[in-house]
Copies of this chain bind each other. A is one copy, B any other.
Amino acid sequence: MSKCEQCIVREFSALKALNKDELIRMADCKTSYVVKKGETIFDEGDLLNGIYCIKDGICKLSKLSDNGKDQIVKLVKKGELLGQRSLISEESTNLSAVAVEDMQVCFIPKQEILKFFNENNQFSLNMMKSVCGDLKDADDGMVNLAQKTVKQRLAETLLKLESDFGTFEDGSLKIQLSREEIAGMIGTATESCIRLLSEFNKEGWISLQGKKISIIHKKELQRMI
């Protein structure tokens, strides 16, 4: 069993407030495992008995709509926690979490987290801040979905993917999503997403080579948001 004390990713989440003793306790009760790309961590409606700490990789939080499309609400990456909302609300999840690339995650049981809430005020505060950050993002997301065009949302999403996940040396986005997943993020039909990507490509704003997407003229994308 690896030690949480030595795990650097805890510094990126509410867990950074935990002291040495708490970290040892957490290491004792956590279970860590690997999630392959495409595998599900939890499904809409599941009752979670704890939260997940993402040691490596990225997953998507999404909700299946009646029309059969998967709306992606958030991408969660290394260092972030997963499942807090459900745990705090004491409800089953409203979203499912699926790995977008291979992941390493640790599961921390509910009882342990509740103890932290009770004994470590800074941990509670951190967690609150993190949820508040999500809320702000979601509110902004609503406004975008309601008031911006698909084209604007695509431009914005591409820019955000670049700033959140970075690029390889060749300039292409490190995070590789399918066209369907990008469509699910911006809330449009897959064909519309593909069409607009082609258009951006023809305009010379981005370049497409298979799944690799590179932003060529960031300014042009920013201008249209």
> Main SS of chain A's interface residues?
helix
The count of chain A contact residues (Cβ–Cβ below 8 Å) is 40
**In the complex, which residue of chain B has the Cβ closest to the Cβ of A145?**
B145
Q: Does A1 contact B (CB under 8 A)?
A: no
Q: Does A7 contact B (CB under 8 A)?
A: no
Stretch from A102-110, A129-137, A169-177 at the B interface: A129-137
User: Shortest beta-carbon distance, A157 to chain B, in Å?
Assistant: 12
Taking CB atoms and an 8 Å cut-off, the chain A residues in 159-186 that contact chain B are none
Q: Does A207 contact B (CB under 8 A)?
A: no
Q: Does A36 contact B (CB under 8 A)?
A: no
Neighbouring B residues of A142 by C-beta, 8 Å:
71, 73, 138, 141-142, 145, 187
Neighbouring B residues of A6 by C-beta, 8 Å:
none
Neighbouring B residues of A117 by C-beta, 8 Å:
121, 124-125
B65 and A148 within 8 A (CB) = yes
Q: Does A140 contact B (CB under 8 A)?
A: yes
Q: Does A203 contact B (CB under 8 A)?
A: no
